[in-house]
Amino acid sequence: MLFCSHCGKESEKGDVFCRKCGSKISIKPTVDDKIKGTVSELESLVDEAARGIKKELLEQVFEIEESLKKGDLSQDEFDLEAEEIRDRLHNFIEH
Ligand SMILES: [Zn+2]
């Protein structure tokens, strides 16, 4: 299997240029290329995951706000839910 040394995207046999970023694909990827490819791939995944987590958490925030407004949540329940979200977020913030 070949991986783009620039962005880490897997390429099809016979591809001369990466289908994702357009970089020229080397015929024989070196170990360094493979490591770089893996690191790039993981970097992209971290970005994607971060976007996913942001979306999910924001939805939760708006959901509890909406529930509070509609009276589905009491103020205490809202505070508890908010505390849970806050705790999850603090795990990602450097201290
Ligand atoms: Zn590429």
Of the two residues 25 and 40, the one the predictor is more confident about is 40
Ligand 1 centroid–CA 79 distance in Å is: 46
Ligand 1 centroid–CA 25 distance in Å is: 8
What is the reported pLDDT for 6? 85
Ligand 1 centroid–CA 49 distance in Å is: 20
Print the SS3 string covering the chain: CEECCCCCCEECCCCCECCCCCCECCCCCCHHHHHHHHHHHHHHHHHHHHHHHHHHHHHHHHHHHHHHHHCCCCHHHHHHHHHHHHHHHHCCCCC
What is the reported pLDDT for 5? 79
**Percent of the chain surpassing pLDDT 70:** 94
pLDDT tens-digit map of 28-39: 667 888 899 999
Ligand 1 centroid–CA 8 distance in Å is: 6
The pTM assigned to this predicted structure is 0.55
What is the reported pLDDT for 12? 84
